Structure 1
Amino acid sequence: MTHQRFKLSALFIATSAIFSTPTFADEAKDQDIEKIAVLGDKPSNYLGIEAQTASKLGIAIKDTPQSVRVVTRALMDDFSLDDVNQVLETTPGISVEKIETDRTYYKARGFDITNFQVDGLGLPQERGSLQGTLDTAIYQRVEVVMGANGMMTGAGNPSATVNFIRKRPTDNAQASLSLTVGSWSNRRIDADVSGRINDAVAARAVVVSQVRDSYLDRYSVNRNVFYGITEFNLSEDTTLTTSITYQKNDADSPLWGALPLFDSEGNATNLDVSTSTASNWAFWNNTSKQAFVELEHYLGGDWTLFARYAHAQTEQDSELFYVYGTPDAKTGLGLTGYASDYQLEDKQNLFDVYAQGSFDLFGQNHLIAAGASQAKMAYNEQSLYDFTTGNGFPAMPNLSTWDGYAPRPTLVDGITGSQIDSRQRSEYVSVRFSIRDDLKLLTGLRHTDWETVGAAYQVNKGREDSDTTHYLGAIYTINEDLNVYGSYTETFAPQFEQGLDGNALSPIEGDTREIGLKTEFFNDNLMLNIALFDAEQLNIAVADVENSTPDNSVYKAAPGIQSRGYEIELSGDLGFGVSANLGYTYTNIDVADSIDAGNTEAELVKNYTPKQVFKLAAKYDVAALEGLTFGMNMRWQDDISRVQVQSPRVVTEQKAYALVNFMASYQISPTVDLTFNANNVFDKKYINSLYWAQGFYGAPRNYSLTLNWAL
């Protein structure tokens, strides 16, 4: 089992990072320039107004011919969404596949999400997983562009792009402090200080410390976060922004792998929700560091130049215990455990420069962004095992009574791992043509060169590919409140598997076709987005059994999955003191062509992907008692399943279920409020994910109480 995360070197803790909102020196200039780089969300409700992720043109979400989701800071604060998993579980259209305690995958429209950005800068992650967790205290909002997004990201899947928008320094001095206590000895402190140091310098700092146990036996986490960002107004036209981010997530007795889900008679094991296969000595420590620098220069007219650099480094240190096998239906015996020492270092150096502005043609004003980016990545991992003493504990007792004891292994054997270096270079252009006042055409393309050298666990990963991805979208304004749109966008993903001719297969190709409407109500305080989508992938590498030999595995290209469906999202202020973000997603996955071509994995994807998902986050400000707010955050999903054994057929099923969370908040004074959260209030027992053959249960009913002070 391999693990990946974002990382950075301590060398860059002395430097700082990127992506500030631009500051212009005088009000007259502000009035003349459309601030297409200034983004925000309404602070008191759940409506995002603008997003940069889809085009780099800074156009409003309503004017973007693609589905865009925004989780605002207000929603995160109301429901104590303190990590990325909680945020994306709340985001309509996103599935969070928690396969282990400290490794998670994300999916949209049936495909793995492999594109993650920070303030619009990022690279596709081939493995698509997040190790440890990301704390959300440093983010102002999270943007998600549904479907392919090849114009902005290049390589990837036709799933979604997740963009984490960080907090920025404020002109006015402000400070906040939050103290949280909760179930399983959860203790958290969160501090945020921001303001202007002088006319030329503004800064912000966020600090988080959290310690918590868990509903899972023996599992506990110690998390520490620091984020600092500084903006320097070098001149009337030039702004330099630097920042650093440090996140450390140390986990004791984490799951590596998960629980067996069926026994020797094919029945569901139905273990207690607290059951864990982690030994009492296991640990999984993840450290992430990021350093960003951005230079923004106003060129004149309405043109601005951006130059951005980031260094990211992830380090992982772990000793893990994996349990596998099928337990006997009567005794619970028959499982085997083994241990591994796993080390990882992942470095990324990213550079992006682009110009953003407009031009006049045929009596209309048109927007354009054009630039180039380069990234270098170095990924190194090492695994050690214990063949000397029998991998620690080869014969496991019944999990229902196991206390986590296993002999401490001697992890010095069977060294293996990965050493992979990659480089990606891209040039891109994005243009919004105003055909008429009521008709806009958004088009763009991105050319990407990708080169990889190295091997992973004795498998050569060397490859060299290039591709050009295209984007075309149109949006028609029926009236000032209603837009209809259509779009087509592409992605590609290099692959290293070789065909019968000895050459690497062509890149995986993906695309998304989408039509929809976007409308606003109540003075633009509420937005409705209805979208129909059709997405697919081609050229997936599958084993060519007929032409393979024991010494030479050969592959062939096959279809992936075709995903069709529709999405409905309503977000913003409903009136009468109610703010809400709700979404319904229907996804129909067609795998007939894939299975005929030998891609049997496609059927697994169809079965473990819920066809229907409904999400709702809403709060009500009680008019009769000023300062009192109630809220509910719920998620319902359809049945899912996984075929574990074909003959005799064994299927793990997770019936449809709903998770309901409640919130109550009271404003004690102008500077102090108290928030109470109750999660999984109906104590539903459910399997987190069937993405893997193993799985574990979600958290039972739990509570937290947060005292917030803000100046």
Structure 2
Amino acid sequence: MKSRVFKLNTLFVATTMALSYPVLADDADKKIEKIEVLGDKHSNYLAVEAESASKLGLSIKETPQTVHVVTRALMDDFSLDDVNQVLETTPGVSVEKIETDRTYYKARGFDILNFQVDGLGLPQDQGALQGTIDTAIYQRVEVVMGANGMMTGAGNPSATVNFIRKRPTDDLRANVSFTAGSWANKRIEADVSGRLNDLVSARAVVVKQKRDSYLDRYSVDRDVFYGITELALSDSTTLTTSLTYQSNDADSPLWGALALFDNKGQPTNYDVSTSTAADWAYWNNTSKQAFVELEQYIGDDWSVVARYAHTQNEQDSNLFYVYGTPDSETGLGLTGYASDYQLQQRLNLFDVYTRGSFELFGQTHLVALGASEADMAYRDRSLYDYQTGNGFPAMPNMHEWDGVAPVPTLVDVNPSAPGSDVDSDQSSQYASARFSLSEDLKLLAGLRHTAWQSKGMSYGKNKGTKESDLTHHLGAVYTLNDNVNLYSSYSETFAPQTEKDINGNQLAPIEGDTKELGIKAELFDDNMMVNFAIFNAEQVNIAVGDTVNSTPDNSVYIAAPGIQSQGYELEISGELGWGVSANLGYTYTDIDVSDTLNAGNSEAQLVKDYTPKQVFKLAVKQEVAAVEGLSFGLNMRWQDDISRVQNAAANFVTKQDAYALVNLMASYDVNEQVNVTFNINNAFDEKYINSLYWAQGFYGAPRNYALTLNWSL
């Protein structure tokens, strides 16, 4: 494992903590309510509006990029209570669960680095999210595939995940649900919304959950509170404020995971429940946020929106890491050591933009102009066990491991550089427009200038960088008829990097782009949407170690091509008729690493091997006509085989065969207020490795059950 794997000390930790439980604002489009209605309980899985690809209020059909949406209805039907479950259901997204409380996400062969809430968020130089993000406060999750340079600036050609929060409703709504499930899972969730008077509407969401796990010793205690108010200052002015609190306390979490091969290169094949965590280990995440938004309509065609969000995060953990290669006969040969990690992080975000329409040459055109500012500070510290760990080198056979380890004696990793002290600023100005060249042909164009500056030290390394870049987006949409649109698009991204070459010069930013060609159709009286896209994505200027000129005291780098990917995606969502609602997605991704391998980037081959070439996802619900209120559902995911070369010289390769996970659901409306839903996850009890993203890994959950009693007003 590389040092970055177990040093929770770089910029991505602070940024991902900020985005793990963020509270930011919606893009103030009145059309958003259309999705909220479609996403209510007992509705279908169709979404027709999305704001993640532009601030122009375009429908998904009018957007020249692939946009996937997981609606509230789908989340409710299959009890998708955390973000991992939601993104496992999202077409085109791979969820790389490398530990219990740290997860990476991939799309089109690249790590997803951009996570937003209501269109706001900071990019990340690494794509991990810490802890488990609860979905109770979100109305839907939008995923824009490919580069999204106009909206995000820094990033890569993977995807942008945008979590859209619940908003107050005009009518009084109340929902309380109780869930009990396998491994002592107990969850209560309450959601109350409505208008308090003619001027004020509000909404509050509260969640309390405690659960054990199929993994030995692992348990989670989660608390969530979300409150939002909207105040009508006038007929054209709205002030929105909100507060969010979330804590996720995990006992005996994984830090690292299981050894996947023995000294003969054979699979270790542990029990599904096997965990390397010590019984005293914990990993606690806490986030607090405050948010303010002011929206002003100017006439019938223009509006101005200003938004500010402040986030504070803390992370506290004592973790136990096990590494090595076990003996094929005895299972011995592993070593364990401990770490204490602390993080305090602060994030301020401000965004202001105006958008509207104007008439020119007999056509209506749309435009949005805006600017955003963000500043972030994080302080962290890592202590490592260099005494007890060295005195406890002989781990028992993992088949017999009970989590009992000596209480660690923790010392600074490097007394002269014990942690991180880094400040970062990002400033962006952007413009987006859709020009109607004719009734049938629309041109979408966007520019975004992003300036990024960081200063400070992280474990003895200078994290200072200062970069700026201009990214472009171009798209065209042609209306073939009332139901079918053809589109093409080109979008860019960039990402700053701190590595330096042999002359001491900082490498230029990583640059990426996506080219996409597709067709979107709304069929059966607009109750079904079909999207087919062909894509090509690539990156350049990736920092690769210059082994010839590097020394033990000075690592230098060269810029190399990154991976290139191409493929196609198909999604069908909405009502299929006969009481059937569905969301179907198929993705084919072909990754080319030949150029970057020639430049010395050997890790690129690992990416190609552990990324499934084909992924098929299907969520479907059937309402039983003969029994009012009864419905059945299936949520499945299939991926083809993947592998990871563990030792090229010895030809040790870990393989995960193709597999399918099938989740089942049965739901019954006892009356208009009471519903009972029964879920079976991994119904066929498939044994599989969650991810080969790292050299280590652990198994996915076996068959499990959950029963939810839901009361609504």
| 1:518 match: secondary structure | strand
Distance 1:274 1:104 in 2: 19
Structure 1's unaligned 5+ residue stretches are: 24-34
CA shift digits 1:567-586 (9 cap, x unpaired): 00000000100000000000
Give 1:549 deviation, angstroms. 2.0
Given that residues 17 and 130 in structure 2 are in contact (C-alpha distance below 8 angstroms), is that contact kept between their aligned partners in structure 1? no
Deviations 1:521-544 (A, max 9, x none): 111010000000000000000011
Confirm or deny: 8 A CA contact 2:115 2:162 kept in the other structure.
yes
CA distance in 2, matches of 1:696, 1:380: 30
Alpha-carbon deviation of 1:240? Answer: 0.5
Residue of structure 1 in register with 2:449 after alignment = 447
Aligned length: 696
What's the CA shift string for 1:632-686, capped at 9, x where partnerless?
0000001100000011110000000000000000000110010000000100000
Q: Runs in 1 of length 4+ with deviation above 6 angstroms? A: none
Q: Secondary structure at 1:606's aligned position in 2?
A: helix
- AA matched with 1:388: Q
1:333-348 residue pairs with structure 2 within 5 A?
333-348=332-347
2:450/2:470 contact within 8 Å kept: yes
**Number of the residue aligned with 1:165:** 164
Contact kept in structure 2, 1:282 and 1:320, CA below 8 Å: yes
Alpha-carbon distance in structure 1 between the residues aligned to 2:634 and 2:467: 48
Does 2:34 align with 1:18? no
Q: Answer whether contact 1:41 1:48 (CA < 8 A) is retained.
A: no
**1:691 counterpart residue number:** 693
Q: What is the rounded CA distance, in whole Å, between the counterparts of 1:617 and 1:455 in structure 2? A: 46
Aligned equivalents of 1:370, 1:325: Cα separation in 2: 54
In the alignment, is residue 105 of structure 1 matched against residue 84 of structure 2?
no
Q: Contact (CA 8 Å) 2:208, 2:222: kept in 1 or not? A: yes
Post-superposition shift, 1:420? 1.4
1:187 counterpart letter in structure 2 = K
1:515-554 maps to which residues of 2 (within 5 A)? 515-554=517-556
CA distance in 2 between counterparts of 1:461 and 1:82 reads 36
Match of 2:436 among 434, 437, 440: 434
CA drift of 1:244 comes to: 1.0
* TM-score normalised according to structure 1 size: 0.96
Task: State the superposition RMSD in angstroms.
Answer: 1.6
Partner of 1:278: 277
Q: Which residue of 2 aligns with 1:419?
A: 421
Matches of 2:324 and 2:577, distance apart in 1:
55
1:620 is matched with which residue?
A: 622
- Counterpart AA for 1:604: L
Q: Distance in 2 between matches of 1:346 and 1:636?
A: 38
State yes or no: 1:497 paired with 2:499.
Answer: yes
1:130 matches 2:137? no
Distance 1:320 1:467, change over 3 A: same
Amino acid at match of 2:479: T
**What residue in structure 1 maps to residue 7 of structure 2?**
2
Task: Name structure 2 gaps, 5 residues minimum.
Answer: 1-5
The 8 Å contact of residues 281 and 317 in structure 2, kept in 1 or not, is answered as yes
Q: Does 1:304 align with 2:300?
A: no
How far the C-alpha of 1:315 sits from its partner, in A, is: 0.9
3-state SS of paired residue (2:698):
coil
Matched, 1:597 2:599: yes
Partner residue in 2 for 1:31: none
Relative to structure 1, the CA distance from residue 419 to residue 391 in structure 2 (aligned partners, 3 Å threshold; closer, same or farther) is: farther
Q: CA deviation at 1:22?
A: 6.2
Amino acid across the alignment from 1:140: Q
Encode CA deviations 1:563-621: one digit per residue, 9 max, x unaligned: 00000000000010000000000000000001001111110000000000000000000
AA of the residue aligned to 2:631 = T
Q: Deviations over 1:199-247 (max 9, x none)?
A: 0000000000000000000000000100000000011111000111111
2-structure distance, mates of 1:369, 1:539: 31
In the alignment, which residue of structure 1 is the partner of 2:356? 357
Whether the aligned pair in 2 keeps the contact of 1:339 and 1:391 (CA below 8 Å) is: no
How far apart, CA to CA, are the structure 1 residues paired with 2:29 and 2:702? 45
1:659 corresponds to: 661
**Secondary structure in structure 1 of the residue aligned to 2:548:** helix
Asked if the contact 1:264–1:328 (Cα under 8 Å) also holds between the matched residues in 2, the reply is yes
Distance in 2 between the 1:67 and 1:41 partners?
Answer: 22
Deviates more, 1:465-474 or 1:405-414: 405-414
Partner of 2:3: none
The letter for the 1-side match of 2:624 is: V
The one-letter code sitting in structure 2 at the alignment partner of 1:529 is: N
User: Which residue of the partner structure matches residue 328 of structure 2?
Assistant: 329
Distance 1:427 1:596 in 2: 37
Contact in 1 for aligned 2:337/2:386 (Cα 8 Å): no
Of 479, 482, 503, the residue aligned with 1:480 is 482
**Displacement of 1:391:** 5.2
The CA deviation at 1:193 is 0.4
Would the aligned equivalents of 2:639 and 2:659 in 1 still touch at CA under 8 Å?
A: yes
Compute the displacement of 1:8 (Å): 6.6
* Alpha-carbon contact 1:20-1:168 (below 8 Å) kept: no
In percent, how many aligned pairs have the same letter? 71
| Aligned with 1:470 (options 469, 472, 475) | 472
1:557 corresponds to 2:559: yes
| Residues 39 and 58 in structure 1, CA contact (< 8 A), matched pair in contact too | no
Q: Which amino acid counterpart does residue 436 of structure 2 have in structure 1? A: S
Checking the alignment, whether the CA contact within 8 Å between 1:168 and 1:204 is kept in structure 2 is yes
Cα distance, 1:392 vs structure 2: 6.7
Aligned partners of 2:27 and 2:51 also within 8 Å: no
* CA distance in 2 between partners of 1:39 and 1:46 (Å): 10
Q: Does 1:261 align with 2:257?
A: no
Amino acid at match of 1:158: P
Cα shift readout 1:92-137 (whole Å, capped 9, x = no counterpart): 0000000000000000000000101111111112221111011000
| Amino acid corresponding to residue 2 of structure 1 in structure 2 | K
* Contact persistence 1:106–1:128 (CA under 8 A): yes
